[in-house]
Every structure is written in C-alpha cells, then in structure tokens.
A and B are shown apart, each in its own frame.
Chain A
Amino acid sequence: MNKSLRMFLTLMLLAVLSVGAQSKKKKESKDKQEIIKLTSKLTPLKGSTPAQWRVIWTGDAAREATISWSTAVAGKSHKVYFGETAKLGKVQECQRNGEYTQDKKEKGKLEQAFYHHAVIKGLKPSTKYHFVMESDGTKSKPFYFITAPEKGTGFSIIHGGDSRSGHTARCKVNVMMADLIDKNPKIIAFAHGGDYIVSGRKWQQWRLWLSHHELTNGKDGRVLPIIPTRGNHDGGPLYKEIFNVDPKNPDWHTTSVGTDVAIVTLDTNVSGAGKQKDWLESELKRLRPKSTWLLTQYHRPLYPAVKGPPAHTKIFCPVFDEYKVDLALEADGHCIKRTVPIKANKADPTGTVYVGEGGLGVGQRKPKTDHWYLKGGVTGSEHHVMVLDFSESALRIRTILLNGKIYDDHSLKVRK
C-alpha cells in the first residue's frame, strides 16, 4: 500500500476515535452537570428546616389530606399553615411526630431524622390549598396542592411504580412528572405502585427517595399528592412512618377522588384471602354503584408480563370481575404493560384492563409477549409514567416515556 495512503487512513482512524472520545466526554460531563444541578434543587436535611415534604391521599381526597415532612432534629413544635390564598390563615399542629426507624446496622452511623404528619380535614373540593410547614419556627417555602372535585371527572392522575434503584433515572422521571403537571394542571395526584427503594428497612435508602420526591413539585410550588402502595421491597416500619399509616392498621385503603372515581389500594405482601378479601368485597360493593370509574392499585401484577402470577390472582380477580373493576394498576415487573380486558380469566371486552408494571427509575426487564392476555395489549421496556385522563365517557391511559414520547394511548369506554 502506498505510504501516503496508509498515513491518510491512520489519520482518519485517529480522527474518528478522537471524535468518539470527545462525544463520550461531552455526555459524561452533561450527565455529571445534570446530577449536580438536580441535587442543588433539593433541600438538605439539616436542623429544623422542613424537607422531604409530601402530601398524602388515603381517604376522601376532596376534603382531606396529610401534609408530611422531615427534619434532622426532633424539635418541639411542628405545624402547617394553610389556606385558600397565599395569605394562608389556618393552622394545624402535627398530630403525629416521631423518629424514623433505622436498621440495626445504620444506628450510630447515620444521623437521626424525624417525621411530622399534619392531617388536615374539612377542605373544600376542587380548591387550591396553599401551605407552609413550620418546625420550631423554621418555615418552608410556600407550596400548594389541589383537592379532588366533589363529583364528576375532568381530571388526570399519574400512575407509576418501582423507583427502587437507578437514582439518576429516578430523578429524571420525577422531573418529567413536574414538567407534566406544569403543562397539564388537570393532573391532581400521583398513584405510586410501590417498591420505592430496594430494602424497606433501610432509612439510608428511604431518605434519598424522599428527597428525590421533591423533584416532582411543579415550578410554581405545586405538590402532587401521593396515593401510596406498599411494594415487596418496602417491608418494615418505615413505610408506615413515611405515609402516616397507623402501625396497627393494614396498608390497604380507598382513595375517593370525588364521588365518581375511586382507587382501591391493596397489599400484595400480606394474605390476599381472609380479611383483605372481605374488605375488598365490601369496598367494591359500596363503591361500584356510585363510581363512574372504579380502579384498583397494588404491587404484584395479577396478570404479569415478566414473572409468574402470585396467589393473589385467584383471590382478587374473581372479585374484580364481580364488581366490574375498570382498571387495575400494577407494578413490580419493571416493564410497560397493558393487557386486553379480562374477565373470568379470559379475554372479554367487558372485563378489567391491567396496566403498569413499573418504570420510575428501576432498570427495565424484557416482558414476555406471548401470554394470551398480552396479545392485543401492549408491552415495552422503558422508563415511563402512565397518565390517566378521566372523563364522563372515557378513561384515557397514556404511557409517556422519559423523552416525552407517547408509547401507548388507549381509551376505555364507560360502562353502561
């Protein structure tokens, strides 16, 4: 080969390699800057400064909510000021305060942290509530949330699950949720399908999740109320301390988003039969006649796209069929899934549609596409959230990816 040609080819190769290295370096630097920028937005857990705030819905979302936060010191006085205007006007002392339980191995190594829960009742439906948290005289920034309507639809809820690992991706999904609520004020809540962290007994993991949750806030200070579900990785006392569940009570609950939409949250970590099934039956029996849209939410998928089905499938599904549940929100599989409508373990247009499987940051898995219930449905493996748009005639389910693309857009018609 000609000497000059060889030289030319060598130079070309070097140029290509150098461009490749440059682009990697740029990407590396971009990612690093993004993480630093995101971290700077979060509130350090220091002294009595209220941090890690969240609004929790587990009951009548039109009239009550729990405003919760963390501090690094126990403090003496914790209250929330709230009202329909930025002037606030009302005050509620925290009814429940305590120290977050640390794992045996964490004690002595991690700083203590404390939770504060203020349950506020008697709220007006469809109303913007401003609030400021205060611990021992240190006030938070002003925030607000919107209560659910008294009746009717015309609002949206975000659903997602599995934020247990992949901190960068988790933060990015949270930022995406914040963008979504900025663009769409009709989104009023965030139903989390569980598996917030890897090991539910580790405060070290929860504290990071709680801080990252701040990223879901809108630019104007809007906080998206969270409807929590316990996942299989969320074992231990911290879940109840974080979401203000009485230690004596089970983790299943009903969130009434007005009179027309109800979300019945179940717990797939405990026995499905027995007390939980009895409770589920009584709740669905009570809610079905008055609900335009009846949803269930739980962690382990009853019609899974990745794993095998749990024992709960045989217990819960006949009850869903009997009371014509419209949509079941699932997580755990780390993928995207929408089944065909299912009734009596068969494809049936009058049956329940099962969606979800979780992509709030956790590494995605490959779904098994040849299940009968997925033929005619949708599967995928990307980080995502599902936006549920409720109207009188239809329930639209959009699966939105991190890049903003809509992966799946499906509508359920209202039952006659």
Chain B
Amino acid sequence: MNLKIQDKTLIVLLSCFVFIGLLGALKPVLFNGGSSLAKYFAKQKQLEMVQEKNVEEYMESALFGDGSETLEVDGPVYSEAERTEAINIIFQYDSFIAVTLFILSLLLFVPKILEKYHLYHILIPISLWLLCLSIGSMLNGGKRYSELAILAHATRWGLPLVLWLVFYMKKKGHNILENKVVYTTAIICSSLTFAVHGWEAFNLNPPFQDLIYRFTSLIGINLPESVNFGILRAVGCMDLVLAAVIFFFHKPKIFLWMAFWGIITAFSRPLTMGFDAWPELAMRIANCAIPLGLFLIFKTQKQAVVEPELNNQKMEMIYE
C-alpha cells in the first residue's frame, strides 16, 4: 500500500476523533445525571453536610468499641432543601464545564486558527477533563476493575494530549511524523488501554461476556459458556501481547490491527445494546484513533526510508 500523509491529514484526523470522543463523554454528563466526578463530589458534599463521619465514628464506638465516644456536631445543620441546593450547584458547574469544553472543541475544525492563535492549548483542559472523568469512575467504584479506570481510559484522555503534542511540536519546528515524544506518548496510552482491557477480558469481565453472547445471538448462534470464555481468554491474551509488543516493534501492520480491533470493540456496544448506546461507541473511538495515528506515522516513516533506496536503485539502472 502506497500511503504517505501530511502533517495536516494527521491533525484533521485526530481532531475529528477528539471531537467524537468528547461528544460521547458529554452525553452522559448532560443527559444521564452528570459526570462521574460530579457524582463523586455530590456524594461527598452530601455526606459532609449530614456529618456522616461524626455519626459513623460515634456509632462505631458504641457498637464495636472503636471510633469516637461522643457524638461531635461541628458546623451548621443543613435542611434537605439546603443540601439539594448545594448538590444542584455541583451539577450546574459540571454541565457548565462540559458545555464550555464542547463549544471550545468546535475550534478543532479550524486547525489554522488553532495554530495561529495558539488555541490548540484548549486540548489540555479537554484531556484533563477526560482524565477527571476516569478519576471519578475510579473513586465512585461500583464496577469491576473501576480501580483501573485511569489506565483503562488512557486512550480517551491521551488522545487530546497527543494532538496537543502534535500542535506543540509542529510549532517548535519539529517533524511531527518523526517526533519521538509524540509517538511514544501515543504508544504508552494505547498500550495501557489494551493491557487493562486484555486483563479484564482474560479474567472474563461479565460485560465482555455479554457482548459476545449478544453478538453471537444476533447471528443466530447460541454460544456455550465454555466457548464464550475461550474467546475472551484468547482476546485477553491478544490484547496483552499487543500492549507489550508495540513498545519494541513499530510495525504499521500491528497498529493497523489494533485500530481495527479498537473500532470493532467500540462498535460492538451499539450493535449489541442498540443505537442508544452510541456514546459508548463515541467514547471508545480513541481506542481506534491512537493506533490509527501510529499506523499512519510509522507507515510514512517506513516509506520515507524505503523510497530513497528505490530512487537510488532507479538511478543506478538508468546509468547502466
């Protein structure tokens, strides 16, 4: 395949993926009860306002012999309405941040302006916000492997970071298609996501089991549990191997396979759960985007090495 890309192509491609990913993250924030971090803060605020810790310590002392023997009541006592108001303020800030980032992300479609006025720095708050959502998921818990959320979502918050690096390095006069900082960051993010998902698959994470069951039932196969588990373990091994291999071998074919696998797994959500699950796809688009970016980078690098050699051979033939 003869493929040679320009910086601009890579920037446009990654920008589109960042926008789609952000859109996927915004939907639950605006329409499904707020972001994971806002939920965490709301819960903490609520518990603080009812002085949960003091009550807990007092009860623990009375019932189990540890904790505080007296019930401390510090600070004001809030009514239900006051507590609700405080929580609403958190969610209002949450929506405000989400909407602001969405509006700013529209600038991604005008890369010239981004570059000219250094507005590409908006990618940093986008990346940080997505990282915060992962931290929120980790803090809230309640899901298997939620403690690994930051690593599992590395491509989600890593994609805007990689794009920011692309802009930044370009501004500094580097060739972004050969810049080690750019592709190493991308490799780390991809590797982390594949490693955690591989680990989850290998350990038969129930939502993954359901994806396979649902997919096979759609094509009329009633899959036995043993086969489901076998597929998951194989997928898990593959993901873990890929996560390790990409640090040592920068083969475009490997990245192309990872991009393909990333898009397949992202599409499996709406395919098995219905179109309402489109944010699940959008959020996971980064799992495909970063390996695709790496594929383009290394494919171009490889051709840049091969093509001068070919040119030399042609010249030699002409002289002969």
Contact = CB atoms under 8 A, between A and B. Distances in A.
A311 B272 contact: yes
Given A168-B50, A233-B141, A273 B213 contact: yes
A309 interface: yes
Contact of B214 (A32, A43, A311): A311
Given A39-B59, A166-B52, A271 B64 contact: no
A111 B60 CA distance: 11
A274 B228 contact: yes
Interface size class of A (residues with CB under 8 A): 35 or more
B279 A308 contact: yes
Interface in A186-233: 195, 198-199, 204, 207-208, 211, 231-233
Interface in A303-320: 306-309, 311-315
A235 interface: yes
Interface string A12-48: 0000000000001001100110011001101111100
A314 B273 contact: yes
B209 A32 contact: no
Residue among B59, B65, B77, B209 with the highest chain A CB neighbour number at 10 A: B59
Nearest to B207: A311
A312 B153 CA distance: 23
A311 B277 CA distance: 9
Interface residues of B, number: 50
B274 interface: yes
A307 B77 contact: no
Contact of B277 (A44, A308, A365): A308
A273 B210 contact: yes
Nearest to B269: A311
Contacts of B88: 366
A309 to B, nearest CB: 7
Contact of B66 (A36, A110, A167, A365): A110
Nearest to A235: B144
Given A275-B225, A309-B276, A270 B206 contact: yes
B31 A368 contact: yes
A59 interface: no
Chain B interface helix/strand/loop/mixed: helix
Contact of A363 (B28, B56, B87, B144): B87
Interface string A304-346: 0011110111110000000000000000010000000000000
B17 interface: no
Interface string B136-155: 00000111100000000000
A169 interface: yes
Given A199-B141, A271-B206, A314-B272, A168 B63 contact: no
A28 B64 contact: no
A271 B56 CA distance: 35
Contacts of B55: 35, 167-168
Interface of A: 24, 27-28, 31-32, 35-36, 39-40, 42-46, 110-111, 165-169, 195, 198-199, 204, 207-208, 211, 231-233, 235, 269-275, 277, 306-309, 311-315, 333, 363, 365-366, 368, 381
Rank and list the top 10 A-B pairs by shortest CB-CB distance, nearest first: A273-B213, A271-B209, A363-B46, A232-B142, A306-B33, A271-B206, A28-B77, A311-B210, A270-B206, A233-B142
Given A31-B73, A273-B214, A363-B83, 9 more contacts: A28-B76, A35-B71, A40-B62, A167-B56, A198-B141, A208-B56, A235-B144, A271-B209, A368-B31
